[in-house]
Structure 1
Amino acid sequence: MIAVDLQPGDHYSAVIVGGGQAGLSVSWHLAQAGVRHVVIERESAAHEWRDGRWDNFTLVTPNWHCRLPGYPYDGPDPDGFMTRDEVYAWVRGYADTFDAPIAEGVEVRRVDRRDDGVFVVQTSAGEITADAVTSATGGYHRPITPSWADDLPERIVQMHSHHYRNAGQLPGSVLVVGTGQSGTQIAEDLHLEGRQVHLAVGRAPRVARFYRGRDCMTWLADMGVYDVPVGEQAAAKRAATNHYVTGRDGGRDIDLRLFAAQGMGLHGRAIGVADGTLAFDDSLTANLDRADAVAESIKNDIDNYIAREGIDAPVEERYRPVWTPGGGPTRLDLDEIDAVVWAIGFRADWSWLGDLDVLDAAGHPAHDRGATAVPGFSFVGLPWLHTWGSGRFHAIARDAEHVAAGIVAASRGVLAVR
């Protein structure tokens, strides 16, 4: 990595905003093509892997999925799951393999485009210009908490999943709200520490860790599931939360029913505070059943693939629920909880894009495989940028190559094909 001392008045052929794996991947391609560029990172390169995850975090995708341009995972455990610190070191080390030009500790505050097509980039280090700008900041910027969070008593410690590190941060019994990947894994982390945990269960699907002798995500990769273009996917699938599972201790299922049998309190969706209690709706049974149904449907797809391809794979019994909830909504006395972890996601913040016409009517990035209607401006690193694999290591290299090709073509005076 080369530390860039950004100076007011500097001009670059390309500016990449964001120094995570997506931004670095585009940088690699631009470096290979000899395009003068800079990666601008508000914190430090790859910092989200170190600063935005809990102590016992692991990847949920097998290590062999980790392949950045010119930099595939080559460690000793391709079917294992790197820890938080291992992922940070791996991504950070990537920047050193090609002397990525990075300005760390610099915030991009606004980007505009002049009439002559040059971008004006306002940063905390001063104003610079560029012929092309790529947003590699992802889509998860502002932690979300519900409007009624302020109705909870002051004595209850509240924390968003983004700031959770370990059980030692929180007193007593803990309510985790949300069952995406972070919520379920944090609930498990607290459960394994012997805490009394309550979990508000949403509609997130789950997937088995292993099935018929292999990791389910390895089966899905071989089946090409992560490579299907977004235009061929149902809107409901594109909007769905990722399946919950864990890579902890070599990888295993996250079975919320088993947690309940072991003493974790499961509830439906949290809907508010009233009369000294926290109220939940009656969706628990349906949400658990739906998550199980998705996991079993994935197994069906794997079975069909094995049969179609004539693969010799062991046969195993299907999942059987170990716990069934009672019906109806539930309430939890606020005296029974001491802390809440909000794991209900993030809100995007694109305010730094100024007046650039790169968002749709709902405020989401409007693009075709990263290319926007504004010549020279592109996105990378977004979920579903092109395929399901776009939001994970599996397809970052492919997405970055496509976006970088447009930048390189434009820098050489060639009309980029969109």
Structure 2
Amino acid sequence: MSGVAPPPGAATERRTSVVVVGGGQAGLSVSWHLVRDGVDHVVLEAATPGHEWADRRWDSFTLVTPNWHCRLPGYAYDGPEPDGFMTRDEVVAWLRAYPATFSPPVREHTAVTGLLPGADGGFTVSATGPDGPETWRADAVVVATGGYHLPVVPPWAPALDPAVTQLLSGDYRHPGQLPDGDVLVVGSGQSGTQIAEDLHLAGRGVHLALGDAPRVARTYRGRDTMTWLADMGLYDVPVTRYPGGLAAREKTNHYVTGRDGGRDIDLRRFAAEGMRLVGKVGGLLDGPGGHRLGVAPTVRASLDAADRVYNSICADIDRHVARAGLEAPPGSSYAPVWEPGAESTELDLAAAGITSVVWAIGYRPDYRWVGAPVFDGGGRPAHVRGMTAVPGLAFVGLPWLHTWGSGRFLGVAADAAHVAERLRAGLLDGAGIAGAAASSSRRLAG
């Protein structure tokens, strides 16, 4: 740069071999391998490493996977409760201690705004850092920003009665945050059911609009169900060998909780205790400013489907115990503790005393800043175990990137190792990256 300062507002240009976008557990895991192998790189993090665990989780949040699942490269949970469930603050502290174990080259408060592949290979990454705009030239880029960026909210939500407070699940913190009155939680995945439980335990009137999420037992036959599943190899099955194949990436995770040492989430029991369960929300029945919602009569079907999955997983564990000749307490089958009566097709928020709505339908990816042809019709990256058809461009930290464990602490280390090795090999041999991408392209096409 000849020592001449760039004009005001000009982007500072830097060069490195690999840019890792995102400093969460996935990006840091890739960096660990690159540091170990002596690969020049930088991790660009919009805030601070692992910040989303603090910013998008409620106060009573706990992991739903046992602590022993928390294994990153060179770093694993070593606390006193391997079968327990870390709280939000414990997860944040655990993650924040990780970088100190290997000193990754993280640039904090540096938000990536654009990514373009070069005509002759390599990439240009645009970002805004603490000192203003900056540009990075790199041979390879790893996108490690996850797949949950934009909240899924019905298009008619802004037309809802303005007297009703609306909150995204990622912005919910505690029951006292919401105005007095009943709360409608829309969505029965992991976040929706746990937030509904949090409100229910606080004595709030809760109405839960059910979706299609399955559920799972917290413990079964003397052990945590997720420990059984890990022993059975379920978290290691590649998505291509999973029933339904790549469609598994669209599936909702099973709901359960690690709160208070871990327990089932039984929506039927909640209903017996006074929680109101309603079917899928369809839309406003009145005009702008309205408060009458149409709901589908799907409560019974949703509960029955979730229970079938619950019992089928328990039956899988029974077969595993029998095949392996293991000693374990007797098995059982869940029997419903409550049944819905006649189902309404309308929910009048005002008549029900509902003063707030928590949208917990989910989040979808937003990769509009990635200017490379690597996405399917739904805006999701097309890849083979993280490697795209564009030479040198990879993704990590996505649900079902390779296995069921990919979106969890348990599986991210293996995915990061694979991507880092493929990129390292390509950097050592210029044809390597192109060759790996060509192979991925053929497999995607096939």
Report the TM-score when normalising by structure 2.
0.90
Task: Give the drift of 1:332.
Answer: 2.2
* Residue 225 of structure 1 pairs with residue 241 of structure 2: no
> Match for 1:170 among 160, 173, 178?
178
* Residue 399 of structure 1 pairs with residue 415 of structure 2: yes
Q: Higher mean Cα deviation, 79-88 or 357-366?
A: 357-366
Residue aligning to 2:268: 257
Gaps spanning 5+ residues in structure 1: where? 1-6
Residue aligning to 2:12: 8
> Match for 1:239 among 237, 246, 250?
250
Q: Deviations over 1:109-137 (max 9, x none)?
A: 11111122121111113111111100000
Q: Deviations over 1:163-198 (max 9, x none)?
A: 000111101210000000000000000001100000
Gaps spanning 5+ residues in structure 2: where? 1-10, 440-446
Q: Distance in 2 between matches of 1:66 and 1:310?
A: 29
* Matched AA of 2:297: D
CA contact (8 A) 1:283 1:329 kept: no
Q: Distance in 2 between matches of 1:251 and 1:126?
A: 46
Q: Deviations over 1:250-293 (max 9, x none)?
A: 00000000000000000000112224422210111000000000
Q: Distance in 2 between matches of 1:103 and 1:345?
A: 29
CA contact (8 A) 1:285 1:327 kept: no
* Matched AA of 2:127: T
* Matched AA of 2:355: D
Residue aligning to 2:64: 60
Q: Higher mean Cα deviation, 84-93 or 19-28?
A: 84-93
Residue aligning to 2:194: 185
Stretches of 4+ aligned residues off by more than 6 angstroms: none
Q: Distance in 2 between matches of 1:327 and 1:224?
A: 42
* Matched AA of 2:317: I
Residue aligning to 2:164: 156
> Match for 2:336 among 311, 321, 326?
321
Task: Give the drift of 1:320.
Answer: 1.4
* Matched AA of 2:361: I
Residue aligning to 2:384: 368
Residue aligning to 1:38: 42
Q: Distance in 2 between matches of 1:47 and 1:153?
A: 33
* Matched AA of 1:135: V
3-state secondary structure, aligned to 1:10:
strand
Residue aligning to 2:443: none
Task: Give the drift of 1:70.
Answer: 0.5
CA contact (8 A) 1:16 1:135 kept: yes
Q: Distance in 2 between matches of 1:82 and 1:132?
A: 35
* Matched AA of 2:304: D
Residue aligning to 2:146: 138
Task: Give the drift of 1:360.
Answer: 2.1
Q: Distance in 2 between matches of 1:238 and 1:27?
A: 25
RMSD: 1.2
* Matched AA of 1:130: A
* Residue 23 of structure 1 pairs with residue 27 of structure 2: yes
* Matched AA of 1:188: E
How many residues are matched?
411
Q: Distance in 2 between matches of 1:317 and 1:309?
A: 18
Q: Distance in 2 between matches of 1:38 and 1:46?
A: 16
* Matched AA of 1:158: Q
* Residue 293 of structure 1 pairs with residue 297 of structure 2: no
> Match for 2:298 among 283, 293, 297?
283
* Residue 205 of structure 1 pairs with residue 221 of structure 2: no
3-state secondary structure, aligned to 1:288:
helix
Q: Distance in 2 between matches of 1:192 and 1:315?
A: 31
Task: Give the drift of 1:316.
Answer: 4.1
3-state secondary structure, aligned to 2:156:
helix
